[in-house]
Amino acid sequence: MKEEYLKFEEEFLSPYAKKSKDAGPREKKIEPCPLRTEFQRDRDRILHSKSFRRLKHKTQVFLSPEGDHYRTRLTHTLEVSQIARTIARTLRLNEDLTEAISLGHDLGHTPFGHSGERTLNTLTGRFHHNEQSLRVVEYLENDGEGLNLTPDVRDGILNHRQGMKPRTLEGAVVNYSDRIAYINHDIDDAVHAGLITEDMLPADCVERLGKNKGERINSLISDIVKESYGKNCICMSEECDDAFKRLRRYMFENVYENEHILVYVKKADKMIKLLYEYYLENLGEMPEFYLVAADKKNAVTDYIAAMTDRYAIGKFQSIFVPEGWRL
């Protein structure tokens, strides 16, 4: 029962872990669940949300890929969760809080990956997917009701990006796990796409981190655990961090900014721009829910950010691509 699990947390978890009994108050008070802790409840609310389901049709790196084995934003999220839970469990942190943050961290991501994010940022003056993810769980999900999550989950979602500082160690674990997941699975997808081979990766990075995805992930997790165990911080050794940063730099130079990828990125940018401008002039064609936003730019931004790749493509085709004449 829940009482036994709370007792287990008190006896087993690290003194630096966030205990479920200390979960802060929700904005809207609800009756406690007799079976689940508050963080378990948050995880379930995220898992059952529409925003979570839409992630399966949102780009990770390769835009609307035809192959079945490329990552989507959903599979990225699941891989982040797996890595984060492994680290949290080994460090005796709160695995439920870690999982809730992991599952919710990208709910506000745009169609067409970071390309869509950059385009909306240019069009609006400020758009960051972590802030939009928080907006989703606080307001947009459930037709304006939000998911009513606990403060630590919301904080972890907002602060999951590199350089940001979540207030819990569990949030910091997700911050690292997000980067570990996307660099390694993007290498895997890039190899599958024929853009690079494993042999092309920097030799010194391979020597330090490993020659394949499994070895690299294991090396990074093990290093974080070794450097962080029994401490009130989540950190990586200087040697490992340096190799990881150089591997990330290699991916930007050879994959994320690859000329073949950029061809599709430019098309996606143009599509998002045209849809944004169109809906600013045709607000009545948007779902009524989005029109309650105080500012029409916010309304259009919320609508486009929520789109999946295929939904955005479908809308673009119906608005801008002429159909054959029907008599």
Residues shown for the chain: 327
CATH number for the domain whose boundaries are 2-26+35-261? 1.10.3210.10
What region, left, alpha or beta, does residue 62 occupy, with left being phi > 0 and alpha being psi -120 to 50 degrees?
beta
Could you give the 3-state DSSP secondary structure of residue 240?
helix
Q: Show me where the domains of the chain are located.
A: 2-26+35-261
What is the structure's pLDDT at 224? 98
Q: Residue 108: its pLDDT value, please?
A: 97
End-to-end alpha carbon distance in the chain: 67
For the stretch 254-308, pLDDT in tens is 999 888 888 989 999 999 999 999 999 999 999 988 987 668 999 999 999 999 9
Confidence of residue 322 (pLDDT cuts 50, 70, 90): confident
Query: Is-contact 271 313, C-beta < 8 A?
Result: yes
Helix axes 169-193, 238-251, angle to 10 degrees: 40
pLDDT digits (tens, 9 = 90+) for 120-167: 999 999 999 999 999 999 999 998 899 999 999 999 999 999 899 999
Q: pTM for this structure?
A: 0.95
Q: What percent of the chain has pLDDT over 90?
A: 88
Give pLDDT tens digits for 202-242: 999 999 999 999 999 999 999 999 999 999 999 999 999 99
